[in-house]
Structure 1
């Protein structure tokens, strides 16, 4: 099935993960766009909400794929699998959510 897929990762780093280590992990995540052709874009940010509904999550990462097949290719790519192990090891809590954007009528 064709259509854009957004891959969202929200996490909170473990307390012992330094800011420098966080920056390095984020740079490695962004670099996946250069080695995994199915990964079209990567953006990230930290929580800036004033609603205090983040449930402890501090960072969000968003990747874009042209299709579910592209997302699936990314998930089993050796570079992603190796990186995911590093990221998961540094995370206190993590959630992954994929969706196909729907434009409002």
Structure 2
């Protein structure tokens, strides 16, 4: 099993206001209160100086205890309702799930 990270990279559509983005982020963060398998949520905007972001501006990271937890999250009614509105505001999206691995020095 083991912890699983769910990363979503996003570029909002042109014309999406900062207020709309802020409200969408609050809605995303609130999923932690509705989906039991979602253990944490963090987000941020691209600050890289390498210019390799390919247009993605926002990163959203959720933590789950297992891949089964992600499956529960994806089908959860609160997530489905949120995702329908959220995805409609995105120009680009990329989702990656991974199990973090520590490297021994």
TM-score (norm 1): 0.97
Match in the other structure for 2:66: 67
Paired position in structure 1 for 2:25: 26
Q: State how far apart, in whole Å, the 1-side matches of 2:71 and 2:92 are.
A: 23
Instruction: Report the Cα offset of residue 32 of structure 1.
Output: 0.2
Correspondence for 1:88: 87
Give the whole-Å Cα distance in 1 for the aligned partners of 2:25 and 2:8: 12
Number of residue pairs aligned between Structure 1 and Structure 2: 104
Deviating runs (4+, > 3 A) in structure 1? none
RMSD (Å), alpha carbons: 0.6
The answer for the alignment partner of 1:15 in structure 2 is: 14
- CA deviation profile, 1:17-72 (whole Å, cap 9, x unmatched): 10000000000000000011100000000000000000000000000001111111
Aligned residue runs from structure 1 range 31-46, under 5 A: 31-46=30-45
Gaps in structure 2 of 5+ consecutive residues? none
Secondary structure at the residue paired with 1:40? strand
| Aligned-pair CA distance for 1:16 | 1.3
State the secondary structure of the residue aligned to 2:100: coil
